[in-house]
Amino acid sequence: MATLGIPQNTIAVLQKYGFHAQKKFGQNFLIDTSVLERIVRAAEITEEDCVLEIGPGIGTMTQYLAEQAREVVAVEIDKALIPILNDTLSAYENVTIINEDILKLDIGRIAEEKNEGRPIKVVANLPYYITTPIIMQLLESGIPLKSITIMVQKEVADRMQSGPGTKDYGALSLAVQYYAKPEIVAYVPPNCFLPRPTVGSSVIRLTRYTEPPVYAEDEEFLFQVIRASFNQRRKTLANGLSNARELGISREKAAEVIAQMGLSSTVRGESFSLEQFAELANRLKA
CB 161 within 8 A of CB 182: yes
Cβ pair 26, 129 in contact under 8 A:
yes
Residue 133 CA to residue 139 CA, distance in Å, equals: 10
Q: What is the pLDDT of residues 127-149, one digit of tens each?
A: 777 889 999 999 999 999 999 99
Upper half-sphere CA count for residue 41 (Cβ side, 13 Å): 8
Residue-level pLDDT at 125? 87
Provide the pLDDT confidence category of residue 25 given band limits of 50, 70 and 90.
Answer: low
DSSP letter, residue 3: -
Is residue 74's pLDDT more than 70? Answer: yes
For 161-191, the pLDDT digits (tens) are 999 999 999 999 999 999 999 999 999 999 9
pLDDT band, residue 65 (cuts 50/70/90): very high
- pTM of the predicted protein model: 0.93
- Domains in the chain, start-ordered, CATH in brackets? 7-208 (3.40.50.150), 219-285 (1.10.8.100)
3-state class (DSSP) for residue 161: helix
Sheet holding 71-76, edge to edge: 95-99, 71-76, 50-54, 120-125, 145-153, 201-208, 180-188
User: Position 124: which residue type?
Assistant: A
pLDDT of residue 6 exceeding 90, the answer is no
